[in-house]
Structure 1
Amino acid sequence: MSQPMNQQSLTDLFRQLGAPDPESWAKSQAEMGVNQLYRFLFLRQAWERVISEDDDSRIDANIDAAKQDPNAPYAGVGHAVDRILAAGVSREDIVDLVRGMQAELLFDFCYLLDDPAIMEPNLESIGWTLVETTKDFEPTPITISALHGSVLETDPTGREMSPRK
């Protein structure tokens, strides 16, 4: 797909993709040359891996998996969730806790993409970054950076990880 370059076409595309404030994303790309489309799409895909606040199905799935194989990888999650429910904690509170921790990890991971912060002697020059690719998935020299700065604004709830009402 070729990318639209004028601001109105970008605004329409961001709106179609569900971006919050599509005009702002498009303006930044059109006027400052920041490829906001790549940034938004990466974050949208990342948020799809964070539990939805409306989906508590993983609670039962984790408990069931832990009961089937109590020593399997991640079985501790099911055991812990089972104990938490037995203590009277609501399913909604469990989802909010897990979702909040996943969102924090997403922020930290996005920050790590820009700054590995390796402090060991002789390793300070090691780094990495996320880059755009060609249509054939060959890396380009164009980086996709500062993703952490847009994690909250791309929260699918639109509340930037503020508590439910």
Structure 2
Amino acid sequence: MSDNGKITRLFAALGADDPQGWADTEVVENLPQLARYRFLRALSQDIEAWDTASVSALRDDSDADGDSAMDLGRLARLVARETAFSVLCRLADPDSDDLPADLRRQMPGWVLTETTPAGEPTHRSLDCLYEDLNTVVDSSPGTQPSRTVAAGWIWLSNLRPFCEYLAAEVEYDFDDSDWLAIDTALPETDDDQPRSAWYTYPLVGRDRVDLQIARSVNGDEVSVSVQGTVASRVRSRVELLFDIMARYALAPE
């Protein structure tokens, strides 16, 4: 394709945030951006579907509670994303296996290439797809993509280490003054209120994430939502952080 206007309209139909920018890159640099976006969009939908399907299946189990459903859904999405990322890395580098060098030189490799709508190869390769896995989100045309990195609950006693580890992921220097602001605001929150009423604290480093928190008034838990745009690997680590902070009570040194 060489018609910039047509390519822009196709990106818009897929729900791209910047259809003109994607189209310009394809035309000016002769890159298969539309094929790239379509492939990653479909993969993103598959990852999100694991989360939805897992939660729905567990909620059908009368012995499962809402927290268990949330934990399983988060874990399913984490595993799906890490598996997809690993497959894309392997696709980009056929020689990353453990074969001896002399045997590897005799082996065929692989490459993912673009085709025309009629199925004819264009000989343009879709390289390093893993780099953009988190750039393309599951969004339908006319809807806004979610900025939720992860959400759930953790033990109140784990809130400060949770904040410190989260800050480290975005390279923000979390100190006593940050904790004082959060600790002071927390008692006035209630997780039965709408999320817009929760206390929000920004962590701005390499990336920016907004930490939304509210305490369970009659319990020892804190409901937490992390909002922002981060790399796929960071998102996976934050999801794992939720799991750890909800399963274990951390002891100070």
Q: TM-score, normalised by structure 1?
A: 0.68
1: CA distance between counterparts of 2:7 and 2:118? 23
The answer to which of 37-46 and 7-16 deviates more is 7-16
Contact 1:25 1:36 (C-alpha < 8 Å) held by counterparts = yes
Residue of structure 2 in register with 1:120 after alignment: 99
Cα shift readout 1:60-113 (whole Å, capped 9, x = no counterpart): 68x7xxxxxxxxxxxxxxxxxx8xx48x84312211111122112111111111
Matches within 5 A, 1:12-161: 12-52=9-49, 53-55=51-53, 56-59=55-58, 85=64, 89-116=67-94, 117-121=96-100, 122-125=102-105, 126=107, 127-135=109-117, 137=119, 139-156=121-138, 158=145
Contact 2:12 2:19 (C-alpha < 8 Å) held by counterparts = yes
1:35 deviation in Å? 0.7
Contact 1:154 1:160 (C-alpha < 8 Å) held by counterparts = no
Contact 1:131 1:140 (C-alpha < 8 Å) held by counterparts = yes
2:8 partner amino acid: T
Contact 2:48 2:138 (C-alpha < 8 Å) held by counterparts = no
Could you say what secondary structure the match of 1:100 adopts?
helix
* Max Rg structure: 2
Identify the structure with the greater strand proportion.
2
2: CA distance between counterparts of 1:34 and 1:41? 14
**Structure 1 runs not aligned, ≥5 long:** 64-81
Contact 1:153 1:160 (C-alpha < 8 Å) held by counterparts = no
1:139 deviation in Å? 4.5
**In 2 relative to 1, CA 35–102 (structure 1 residues): closer, same or farther, beyond 3 Å?**
same
1:146 partner amino acid: C
Contact 1:113 1:129 (C-alpha < 8 Å) held by counterparts = yes
Cα shift readout 1:17-52 (whole Å, capped 9, x = no counterpart): 112322322121121111111111111222232243
- Percent identical pairs in the alignment equals 29
Contact 2:9 2:19 (C-alpha < 8 Å) held by counterparts = yes
- How many residues align structurally? 140
2: CA distance between counterparts of 1:99 and 1:58? 14
